[in-house]
């Protein structure tokens, strides 16, 4: 066995590089042609059923509006009842023929089964499952007193989508539907102070990728990779170690830094359009693809840059990092952050 592995060490790298050289051009030509054809014949969402988990605010809310404008029946799930009802009302105004709002805790498998069953009972089918919900925590890992205090991050970002997907798969198979899973660019770039968050998004990313292989052509899966998008997280909403939800915009500035934040409506329009065109992966804004390649090919440089901007020496608070100092320069925040993100107000109920 040792001899076989040593032989493979010598033969495999040049063979794979040569194969890649010949395979990539026709493959990308195929993808280009397929993308062009898909854009000419997008999926018609009229009278199809879309279940959105995490629909009460931010990305989930605006995805709901875009699906509503395409005439889809909607099932909206979130914990905040009043906010969810407000979004449902707007979706009806935008053109959805029927909207079912289901307040539920999607980290509870029994409640996930109930709202999936409610979808089938109300509409008889399920075409798109959209898993959006997410929560962030921003301490350096060594600052955490007890890692288990952040179990909720994994529950919301990973187990919630897993439970919902598990119960939705039999119905999606019948309609040959689609799973739309929202991960995060930080799962690829490994932004400091988001260790637990990055791990949860990396876990759900690999869940979707593996599931795509297992399901084959029975269910399509689109991974949506948001960069810095206008949402409650980019407003500074975080989970503390005590389990409280707070808004800390100074810590937000220290963690996001001088990165332009895209408006949610623009993000949602692009995502739903590309989902309906059959994309398997959507990076939005697209310029983040450059960061992905940077991280893949020269990881040491990426890691150095992350430490330079986002890591402070021991004993120095996060709000003293270089990213925060740059954000405090005159007019920088007003140029890079849209007005809603500069407000600390979030939906509470």
Q: Which residues are designated catalytic?
A: 197
The backbone torsions φ and ψ at residue 75, rounded to the nearest 5 degrees and listed phi first, read -120, 120
Residues 322, 319: Cα–Cα separation, whole Å: 9
Residue with structure tokens 């309609």?
Answer: 175
Place of tokens 């798109």: 128
SS3 (DSSP) at 78 = strand
DSSP state of 312: -
Residue 134 and residue 56 in contact, taking contact as beta carbons nearer than 8 Å:
no
Q: From residue 91, how far is each of 72, 75, 97, 99, 239 by CA, in Å?
A: 10, 11, 9, 7, 29
> Apex CA 306: angle with CA 302 and CA 308, to 5°?
115
Full DSSP string of 259-302 = -PPBPHHHHHHHHHHHHHTT-SEEEESTTHHHHHHHHHH-HHHH
* Residue 247, strand partner residues: 237
> In the structure encoding, which two tokens stand for residue 1, read together?
């066995």
| The two structure tokens encoding residue 134 | 């997410």
- Pick from 66, 82, 192, 194: nearest CA to 132: 66
């Amino acid at each position: 066995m040792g001899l076989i592995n040593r032989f493979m060490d010598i033969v495999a790298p040049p063979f794979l590089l040569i194969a890649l050289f010949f395979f990539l051009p026709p493959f990308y030509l195929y993808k280009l042609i397929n993308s062009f054809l898909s854009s000419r014949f997008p999926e018609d969402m009229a009278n199809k059923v879309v279940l959105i988990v995490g629909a009460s605010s931010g990305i989930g809310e605006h995805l709901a509006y875009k699906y509503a404008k395409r005439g889809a029946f909607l099932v909206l799930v979130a914990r905040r009842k009043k906010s969810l009802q407000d979004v449902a009302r707007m979706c009806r105004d935008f053109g959805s023929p029927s909207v079912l709002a289901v307040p539920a805790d999607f980290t509870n498998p029994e409640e996930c089964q109930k709202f999936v069953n409610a979808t089938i009972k109300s509409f008889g089918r399920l075409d798109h499952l959209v898993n959006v919900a997410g929560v962030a925590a921003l301490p350096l890992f060594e600052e955490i007193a007890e890692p288990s205090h952040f179990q909720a991050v994994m529950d919301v970002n990973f187990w919630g989508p897993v439970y919902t997907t598990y119960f939705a798969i039999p119905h999606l198979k019948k309609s040959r539907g689609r799973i739309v899973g929202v991960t995060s660019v930080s799962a690829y770039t490994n932004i400091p102070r988001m260790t637990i968050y990055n791990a949860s998004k990396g876990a759900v990313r690999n869940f979707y990728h593996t599931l795509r292989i297992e399901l084959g052509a029975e269910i399509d899966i689109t991974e949506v990779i948001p960069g810095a998008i206008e949402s409650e997280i980019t407003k500074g909403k975080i989970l503390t170690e005590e389990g409280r939800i707070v808004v800390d915009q100074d810590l937000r500035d220290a963690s996001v830094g001088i990165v332009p934040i895209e408006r949610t409506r623009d993000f949602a329009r692009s995502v739903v359009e590309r989902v309906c065109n059959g994309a398997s992966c959507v990076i939005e804004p697209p310029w983040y693809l450059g960061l992905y390649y940077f991280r893949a090919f020269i990881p040491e440089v990426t890691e150095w840059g992350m430490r330079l901007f986002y890591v402070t020496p021991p004993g120095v608070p996060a709000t003293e990092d270089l990213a925060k100092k740059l954000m405090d320069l005159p007019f920088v925040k007003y140029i890079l952050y849209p007005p809603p993100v500069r407000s600390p107000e979030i939906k509470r109920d």
